[in-house]
Chains A and B, each alone.
Chain A
Amino acid sequence: MSVSVDPTSVEPSRKHSASTPAGLSAATVAGPSGRPAAGSQQVLRPHAEDAFGAELAALAAQDDRPRPARWRLSPWAVATYLLGGTLPDGTVITPKYVGPRRIVEVAVTTLATDRALLLLGVPGTAKTWVSEHLAAAVSGDSTLLVQGTAGTPEEAVRYGWDYARLLAHGPSREALVPGPVMRAMAQGATARVEELTRIPADVQDTLITILSEKTLPIPELGDEVQAVRGFNLIATANDRDRGVNELSSALRRRFNTVVLPLPETPEAEVDIVSRRVDQIGRSLDLPAAPDGIDEIRRVVTVFRELRDGITADGRTRLKSPSGTLSTAEAISVVTGGLALAAHFGDGVLRPGDIAAGILGAVVRDPAADRVIWQEYLETVVRERDGWKDFYRACREVSA
């Protein structure tokens, strides 16, 4: 057995999950409702089960529906936790996810049928947020987390070794350092895998046996870990990014897939973008733009139209460029424009400030996307009332 020190096999859990950002949310609202759980005052961002502990407790107290084995709440109550509502005793449950009800229902049902759940979506659609809250509501623990990267090794998914002990005493259960998934199996809890498609394909396939046979063999010991009832796995993945490792069909078959959509209405998206831009802008000490909302609306309109392949009035079809054009990108375009305006302009967000950013976001493929963008400019933007200055600015940067 080769011996090498593996830096990723150290204690997982807490450290990892603390770095998980709350998805800038197409559809997240919520926030910790100003009620930090006891003992977490020093933490920048408490876990869902801590931040919303009171709500979870209230739900559990009044939940008289059947619960699957080792679930803290019934599926119905989990759905209520995510979607919000008012309990019989008047406790208000804040909505954690604002979006189609059916998505949450399918997600919860999937977990209840012991099938693994795959949350798909472009960046910024609250995948991580939803998975964290699901795990918190179902198992009361959202920290059994594998953060997927291109460098995630098999040990991070299965188990590692305590090499000092391994060298001293040889292979034994004591020398084994269980990974988050293994611990979830043993506890009958919900494990989470972030960015599943970033993990190399051979490492991904480690999950196949775990998901189909619910066992994790340990060939070194001639042993295995069998999942306790209640174990399940939530994975999140990004389906439009480049450089991802497609799931093998064998693995894909073991997941029920739920696609988290982008915000349904332009108003919702404008709201999310402006709120988020405001937050970022303040942290960067950018001056508030007086009439920035118009430009934000413009960016959101352009992004939505190109993304959906149809103009907002539903009259004209458009080609869609290869970029994702997600809400998160709209936010960065506006933030970039603000920075431009603040440092090099007169502090007012103008079409010229966002034109370059939009061009960069839209034209990812220099040949095809440029044609799409030009077409959009000439057939849609040029004719639109009140968009003359924007059109001119775009022409300038596109030329």
Chain B
Amino acid sequence: MAGADRAGGGPGAEPLLLGIRHHGPGSARAVRAALEAARPSAVLIEGPPEADALVPLAADAGMRPPVALLAHAVDEPGRSVFWPLAAFSPEWVALRWALEHEVPVRFIDLPAAHTLAGPPEDTGGPPAAPDGIRAEPPGGTHPGPDGAGAIGAGPGGAGPDGGGAAGDPPTRPGPGAEQAEPQDGGAAEAAGAAQAEAVDTTGTTAAEAGERAAADPVRVDPLAALARAAGYDDPERWWEDAVEHRGADSGDPFAPFAALEEAMEALRETCGAGGDPRDLVREAHMRLRVRAARREFGDGVAVVCGAWHVPALRRRTAVAADRALLKGLPRARTDMTWVPWTHRRLSRSSGYGAGIDSPGWYAHLFDAPDRPVERWLTRVAGLLREEDRIVSSAHVIEAVRLAGTLAALRGRPLPGLGETTEAVRAVMCDGSDVPLALVRDRLVVGDVLGEVPDTAPAVPLQRDLTRLQRRLRLRPEAREREVELDLRKETDAGRSRLLHRLRLLGVAWGEPAVSRGTTGTFRESWRLRWEPELSVRVAEAGGWGTTVPAAAAAKAEADAVAAGSLAAVTALAEQCLLAGLADALPVVMRVLSDRAALDADVGHLAQALPALVRALRYGDVRGTATRALTEVAAGLAERVFVGLPPACAGLDADAAQEMRRHVDAVHTAVGLLGDTPAAAPGGPGPGDVRVRWHTVLRTLADRDTVPGVVRGRAARLLLDDGGTEQEWAARVMGLVLSPGTPPTDAAAWIEGFVGDGGMLLLHDERLLGLVDAWLTGVPAEAFTDVLPLLRRTFAAYEPGVRRSLGELVRRGPAGGAGSGTAPSAGPPGFGAGLDEGRADAVLPVLGLLLGLDAPGAADPDLPAQGTRGVHGTHAGHGVGEDRTAAATAGSAPSARAGTETGRRRAAGDGGGVRMNAVEGAVR
């Protein structure tokens, strides 16, 4: 075999070219065997030459793969490239082998300086890009107009879990789009190809990749062409069967490389260079570096590179020609470092396009000394047992048998991941996909987290943070200090966003403090203090992204996916708005609506709604686009509306109180939601939400199975909101307080109806009459049961209200025994006609309140007397009066305190009922 001679010649005239598939455990094993056999004088690896200085770190005790080489532009940390390396990556194996044997290592690919310098909007992408092994194409992010908006760069779009594709802003230019692309359609092929190395779709736009796919399928996926030739429909499986699953039994460690090179050569002969000019540039650079290495270390050097490049490196070309190709490439100032990586991020399912969708399986294949299938299935059984599934050794035996037979049926040499997965499903999981998903998540992908020694150079995130701190003139100081931010100012808004983002990242530099002096939403107070360990936090957060916004967005997305409760996601949405992370919002919103849809507990939904609506209003203040938020909030409200009435049935006293609070919270939220103009387009209008809520309240108030306190509350809210007539309220109240209702229920209803202050009773004589009449009629034995409830209700009243109520009752209710007997002139509950003298007496105080020029000093006692005096006086004291007095009496209230309260209330925002009362008095 000619190829074997060339590749297997060992140290000789030709360098040892080891063509690999990136992240291929079989390749890794073969590389190690070949290096052991050849003992080269130097190892050259496909990767950025800037990383040469970082090579010794790979031998550091603190270094544990998976890790990634990260290159980023010094002035623009958002632009970065990653070269992830797992323990089973051939490059990593070669690197470690060289370090262990003290053989020099050189990276020979085109420098990252060139890769990062290419203008991202150039449709040709960067002039050269390292292929397959790179997970992340050059960040390709432009700073936003304000310079701080560079979001979603680097790994930002790829949180550990699925955030990547969704988080990618569609506007991201150039290569950035590529990472989202492998998820779908035609480019999925390209993704498979990227993973199979030879293919180099990374660093190009998705559109371009698509074009190339159409133009030259072989170049896009040469392995697919080989696999088709071998009769496989899936290139992955072909590679696994042909290369990865070959044991180390073949005698010649160079044979697989020779065979592969031959195949690649044949492919490249038929397809040419694949029509990608950047490949030529890269290969030219690699050739130059190999030449330089041979001058330095002699001929016995080994080159580890993607199989596709091997024929090109083998070819003899003129040095001058190669130099010419490399001439005039743009350069950028770049920095390199090692960053920790995870298996999850290696996996294709994170939208990353790194290459492999089963890093855990590959790691297992690489680590398992023998019998990989048996060991794998034993591990699966162990995992399932941990999760309390009954899996015995017999299951494992049967699964191994099934996997083996299935492989035989499919004509494969060994069971692969597909066969073992089928076996696990059929034997251990009862055919269910649910436990299988667990196996996939924990084992096939795996939770392996890499580590990088502390001595590794600083991550770009720190650099970005320093830059932002300088620009926003917010110096990190160990001394604690407070800053007041006016969000209407550009700089202050930027500071606020930065602090919020850092909080999301777990870098607690600033703590929000309570704003002093103002309650406006455009002000924020922060307590700042830079602790030394925060630098460590920044370094830890470096894995999330290279810029603060990108990292915060990625972290927020990951947090949203991992969040335990609906309320946590809502809070996160709020934080995202505060931090101006519009990029993270779609994912957070999606998680939120998913959670809301699946959450059967109306309580959770009701808790989530207020925060969401609050967030909506914040968003308005800060000019964030909140369209998505509005939709989610409306959807959430809709679910609450549907679920609330059934959820209110059959509650005990505590649960009923809880539900009452929920009803209150939803009511407030609906009020705010209804005010939001953004709710109008397309969806239900603002008025619609409120009308529907009123329907729900009405249902609650009318339904007998709903606890009294909730019904009373619903009736009250409806009344306050103008959603119903006072007549109706009186009727409902009359029904509830009629003898047919158990007194405890009635008392609970009263608590719900007037539990938040007695002003209503104070001003609606008729309702008070109803309560009074009912209380009078409660049988003696039931009265003791009812008393605590009533005391609880009335004790919460302010003393002045209590006192006024007591006086009212002593004087006797307006309507006598209930029905509105007041003459028709006044509004219901008020006495007929006006007492002019008393009304006049109110005027000075009213003028004072309204800021008019009031002649003469106001007597603070007057308004209370005035309003109170409007009600007629009635005779007819009875037992009821004493009882009501017993219920209302608390501490001894002074008339003075009562009027103070009255004034404060009138001066505040004032509910409709109260204002009506004052109006009535004035008229």
- Determine if A110 and B594 form an interchain contact, defined as CB atoms under 8 angstroms apart: no
Asked if B315 is an interface residue, CB under 8 A from chain A, the answer is: no
User: Inside 8 A of A115's CB, which chain B residues have their CB?
Assistant: 398, 401-402, 427
A249–B390 CA distance with the chains assembled, in angstroms: 8
With contacts A257-B430, A375-B642 taken as known, whether A113 is within 8 angstroms of B597 at the C-beta atoms is no
- Determine if B422 and A102 form an interchain contact, defined as CB atoms under 8 angstroms apart: yes
- Determine if B635 and A109 form an interchain contact, defined as CB atoms under 8 angstroms apart: no
User: Inside 8 A of B406's CB, which chain A residues have their CB?
Assistant: 105-106, 109
- Determine if B642 and A106 form an interchain contact, defined as CB atoms under 8 angstroms apart: no
- A79, A368, A383 — which one has the most chain B CB atoms within 10 A of its CB? A383
- Determine if A367 and B646 form an interchain contact, defined as CB atoms under 8 angstroms apart: yes
Contact with B along A365-387 (1 / 0, CB 8 A): 00110110011001100010000
Within 8 A of B (CB), among A242-288: 249, 252-253, 256-259
Asked if B395 is an interface residue, CB under 8 A from chain A, the answer is: yes
Q: Which residue of A lies closest to B410 (CB)?
A: A105
With contacts A102-B422, A105-B410, A118-B431 taken as known, whether A319 is within 8 angstroms of B597 at the C-beta atoms is yes
The count of A-to-B residue pairs whose CB atoms sit within 8 angstroms is 89
Asked if B405 is an interface residue, CB under 8 A from chain A, the answer is: yes
Among B410, B427, B598, B635, contact of A319 (Cβ-Cβ < 8 Å): B598
User: Inside 8 A of B405's CB, which chain A residues have their CB?
Assistant: 75, 109, 112-113
Asked if A157 is an interface residue, CB under 8 A from chain B, the answer is: no
User: Inside 8 A of B683's CB, which chain A residues have their CB?
Assistant: 383
User: Inside 8 A of A379's CB, which chain B residues have their CB?
Assistant: 597, 635, 638-639
A368–B425 CA distance with the chains assembled, in angstroms: 31
A319–B595 CA distance with the chains assembled, in angstroms: 10
- Determine if B431 and A120 form an interchain contact, defined as CB atoms under 8 angstroms apart: yes
User: Inside 8 A of B594's CB, which chain A residues have their CB?
Assistant: 317
Asked if B432 is an interface residue, CB under 8 A from chain A, the answer is: yes
Within 8 A of A (CB), among B372-418: 390, 392, 394-395, 398, 401-402, 405-406, 409-410, 418
Number of residues of chain B lying within 8 A (CB) of chain A: 34
Distance of A381 from chain B, by nearest CB (Å): 12
Asked if B9 is an interface residue, CB under 8 A from chain A, the answer is: no
Q: Which residue of B lies closest to A101 (CB)?
A: B410
User: Inside 8 A of B425's CB, which chain A residues have their CB?
Assistant: 106, 257
User: Inside 8 A of A235's CB, which chain B residues have their CB?
Assistant: none
Within 8 A of A (CB), among B417-470: 418, 422, 425-427, 429-433
Distance of A8 from chain B, by nearest CB (Å): 29
Asked if B593 is an interface residue, CB under 8 A from chain A, the answer is: yes
- Determine if A371 and B426 form an interchain contact, defined as CB atoms under 8 angstroms apart: no
A253–B429 CA distance with the chains assembled, in angstroms: 10
With contacts A256-B426, A375-B642, A379-B639 taken as known, whether A109 is within 8 angstroms of B394 at the C-beta atoms is no
Distance of A100 from chain B, by nearest CB (Å): 10
- Determine if B427 and A256 form an interchain contact, defined as CB atoms under 8 angstroms apart: yes
Asked if A172 is an interface residue, CB under 8 A from chain B, the answer is: no
With contacts A76-B409, A109-B409, A110-B426 taken as known, whether A371 is within 8 angstroms of B643 at the C-beta atoms is yes
- Determine if B409 and A108 form an interchain contact, defined as CB atoms under 8 angstroms apart: yes
- Determine if B635 and A256 form an interchain contact, defined as CB atoms under 8 angstroms apart: no
Among A112, A120, A249, A317, contact of B598 (Cβ-Cβ < 8 Å): A317
With contacts A252-B430, A259-B431, A318-B597 taken as known, whether A109 is within 8 angstroms of B639 at the C-beta atoms is no
A105–B642 CA distance with the chains assembled, in angstroms: 46
Contact with B along A308-321 (1 / 0, CB 8 A): 01000000111100
Distance of B919 from chain A, by nearest CB (Å): 39
Distance of B498 from chain A, by nearest CB (Å): 33
Within 8 A of A (CB), among B620-674: 635, 638-639, 641-643, 646
Distance of A233 from chain B, by nearest CB (Å): 15
User: Inside 8 A of A371's CB, which chain B residues have their CB?
Assistant: 600, 642-643, 646
A376–B431 CA distance with the chains assembled, in angstroms: 29
A115–B403 CA distance with the chains assembled, in angstroms: 13
A binding-site residues for B, Cβ under 8 Å: 75-76, 79, 102, 105-106, 108-110, 112-113, 115, 118, 120, 249, 252-253, 256-259, 309, 316-319, 367-368, 370-371, 374-375, 378-379, 383
Query: What 13 additional pairs, Cβ within 8 angstroms, besides A257-B427, A375-B639?
Result: A75-B409, A105-B406, A106-B422, A108-B409, A110-B402, A113-B405, A252-B430, A257-B430, A257-B432, A309-B598, A367-B646, A375-B638, A378-B642
A-B contact pairs, 11 of them (CB 8 A): A105-B410, A108-B409, A110-B402, A257-B429, A257-B430, A259-B431, A319-B598, A319-B600, A367-B646, A368-B600, A371-B642
For the complex of A and B, 5 pairs with smallest distance between CB atoms: A257-B431, A259-B431, A317-B597, A256-B426, A317-B594
